[in-house]
Homo-oligomer: A and B are copies of this chain.
Amino acid sequence: MTPEEFRVAAHELVDWIADLRLRVTDLPVRSEAAPGEVRAALDGPAPELPEPFAELLADLDRVVVPGITQVQSPGYYAWFPSNASLASVLGDMASSGLGALGITWQSAPALTEVEEVVTEWLRELCGLAPEWRGAIHDTASSACLVAMLVARERATDLSENRGGLQAEPVPLVVYASSQAHSSVPKAVLLAGFGRDNLRLVDVDPVTFAMDPDSLRAAMASDVAAGRRPAAVVASVGTTGTTAVDPVPEIVEIAAEHGAWVHVDAAMAGSAMLLPECRAMFAGVDGADSLSWNPHKWMGTVLDTSLLYVRDVAHLVAVMSTNPSYLRSAVDGEVTQYKDWGIPLGRRFRALKLWFHLRLDGAEAIRTRLRRDLENARWLAEQAQQAPGWEVLAPVALQTVCLRHVPEHLRGGTAVDLDALDAHTLDWVERVNASGRALVTPALLAGRWMVRVSIGAETTERRDVEQLWALARSAAEEEGA
Across-interface contacts of A48 in B (CB, < 8 A): 361-363
A291–B163 Cα gap in the complex (Å)?
27
Is there an interface contact between B18 and A344, defined as CB atoms closer than 8 Å?
no
Complex CA distance for A39 and B183, rounded to whole angstroms: 34
List residues of chain B with CB within 8 A of the CB of A190. 149, 160, 318-319, 342
The verdict on A161 contacting chain B, using a C-beta distance below 8 Å, is yes
Q: Give the contact stretch, choosing among A108-116, A204-212, A257-265.
A: A108-116
Q: Known: A1-B87, A50-B359, A121-B46. Is A17-B93 also a contact (CB below 8 A)?
A: yes
The 14 sampled A-B contact pairs (Cβ below 8 Å) are A37-B113, A38-B109, A68-B101, A71-B101, A78-B107, A79-B101, A79-B325, A92-B93, A140-B344, A149-B190, A161-B189, A164-B193, A239-B323, A325-B451
A418–chain B nearest beta-carbon distance, Å? 16
Known contacts A3-B86, A100-B71, A302-B347; decide if A196 and B163 are in contact (CB<8 Å): yes
Whether the Cβ atoms of B117 and A39 lie closer than 8 Å is yes
What interface size band does chain A fall in? Answer: 35 or more
Inside 8 A of A220's CB, which chain B residues have their CB? none
Report the bound CA distance from A276 to B342 in whole Å.
Answer: 34
B-chain residues with CB within 8 Å of residue A412 when the two chains form the complex: none
CB distance from A316 to the nearest CB of B (A): 12
Binary flags per residue of A281-292, CB closer than 8 Å to B gives 1, else 0:
000000000000
- A94 close to chain B: CB less than 8 A: yes
Q: Is the CB of B86 within 8 A of A101?
A: no
Which residues of chain B have C-beta atoms less than 8 A from A323's C-beta? 181-182, 239
Cβ-defined contact, B90 with A13, below 8 A: yes
> Do B93 and A13 touch across chains, with their CB atoms under 8 A apart?
yes
Q: Is the CB of B303 within 8 A of A343?
A: yes
**Residue A214 is within 8 A (CB to CB) of chain B in the complex:** no
User: Are the C-beta atoms of A124 and B361 separated by less than 8 Å?
Assistant: no
Encode contact with B along A90-106: 1 for CB under 8 Å, 0 otherwise.
Answer: 10111011111111011
Q: Does residue A130 face the partner (Cβ distance < 8 Å to B)?
A: no
Within 8 Å CB of A441, what residues of B? 324-325
By the criterion CB–CB under 8 Å, are B33 and A109 in contact?
Answer: yes
Q: Is A122 an interface residue (CB 8 A)?
A: yes
| Chain B residue nearest to A352 in the complex (CB) | B96
Tell me how far the C-beta of A289 lies from the nearest C-beta in chain B, rounded to whole angstroms: 16
A185 CB within 8 Å of chain B: yes
Q: Which residues of B contact A165 (CB under 8 A)?
A: 164-166, 192, 194
| Binary contact track A177-198/B, C-beta < 8 Å → 1, others 0 | 0000111011001111111110
Against B, the Cβ 8 Å flags (1 = close, 0 = not) of A314-330 are 00001101111110001
Interface-side segment among A56-64, A247-255, A386-394: A56-64
Write the chain B residue with the least CB distance to A169. Answer: B166
Q: Are A357 and B100 in contact (CB under 8 A)?
A: no
Contact segment of A4-12, A372-380, A403-411, A470-478:
A4-12
Report yes or no: A162 in contact with B195, Cβ–Cβ below 8 A: yes
Are A36 and B113 in contact (CB-based, < 8 A)? yes
Chain B residue nearest in CB terms to A103? B79
